[in-house]
Amino acid sequence: MDIVGIFKDCFSYPTRNMKIFVIIGILFVLGNFLDAFDYGLLGIGISSVIEIIFMILSIVINGLILPGYVLSIIRGTVNGSDVVPSLSLVRNFIDSLKVIIMSIVYMIPIGIILLVSVFALNLFELFDSLLFYVNNYGSNYMNYVPDDLLINFGTALLIIGIILMVLGILYIIIVYIAQARLAKYDSLKSAFQIREIFNDISKIGWGNYIVYLILLCIIIGIFSIIYAIISALGVFFFIVATFFIYTYLQFFVARSIGLIYKKSLE
């Protein structure tokens, strides 16, 4: 299956089992409903009790159930299944823990590199110096800040931004395949075998994989913009957007990861 075929399949995949789609959609709405309060979509405040309830729901659903379910979509796809998997709370819970561990481990080196970069560029010190002028001169602080301070601060931010962008690209390149390997071999060890991950990408074809990632990012971007615009209209629209668009996108991305990784097994 070529890249175009992969995305054609992904567009139809979420609707192949509407019963499961509805169940997962409801879970996504419940898991993200706290956002409706945070964005003021209900036009009312939120009591601490309700906030705690939805916070717990968010942690349980978004952290301990749905990541594992998304992994089950990838697993089924990699293993050649075109059927949308059913929800399995125990298996999804175990898989969710594995996904969390994998994500944390991969984020650690990124965090270390960023922290070292921030200290190497004296970003905290530069920010502290800039804050001195803000506190002392208020909104007119720009008239008093030395040019070299602004240049150094701006340069440091630019470098950090570039580093973050490069690390983000590397993270996406590696983690998608790592997640597919975790689904395929059901082993955390397989998700951290960097040499094997790059071997898998070579089998897919670096050109194919990069084109896939670019197209996927564009699709995610379009869906995200539509989701944000609709959600901002009110709580009803937020629920509708989360149920349909957000849920659809999760199925879409998971299916695409499974299909692109499957090319390495052909």
* Total domain count, the chain: 1
For 199, the domain range is: 3-265
Helix, strand and coil in the chain, % to nearest 5: 85, 0, 15
Helix axis angle, 147-185 relative to 206-231, nearest 10°? Answer: 110
Length of the chain, in residues: 266
Mean pLDDT across 147-165: 93
pLDDT exceeds 70 at position 39: no
Mean pLDDT of 258-264: 97
Q: Which class for 96: exposed (0-12), middle (13-18), buried (19 or more C-beta within 10 A)? A: buried
Q: At residue 41, does pLDDT exceed 70?
A: no
Mean pLDDT, the chain, as a whole number? 92
Residue 174 neighbours by CB distance under 10 Å: 17
pLDDT for the residue 23: 96
Q: In whole angstroms, how far apart are CA 66 and each of 112, 124, 166?
A: 28, 37, 28
Q: List, for residues 212-243, the tens digit of each pLDDT value.
A: 999 999 999 999 999 999 988 888 899 999 99
Confidence grade of residue 42 (pLDDT, cut at 50, 70, 90): low
At 35 the pLDDT is 77
Give me the percent of the chain exceeding a pLDDT of 70.
Answer: 96
pLDDT of residue 141: 74
pLDDT at position 248 is 97
Q: For residue 26, what are its two tokens?
A: 């409801």
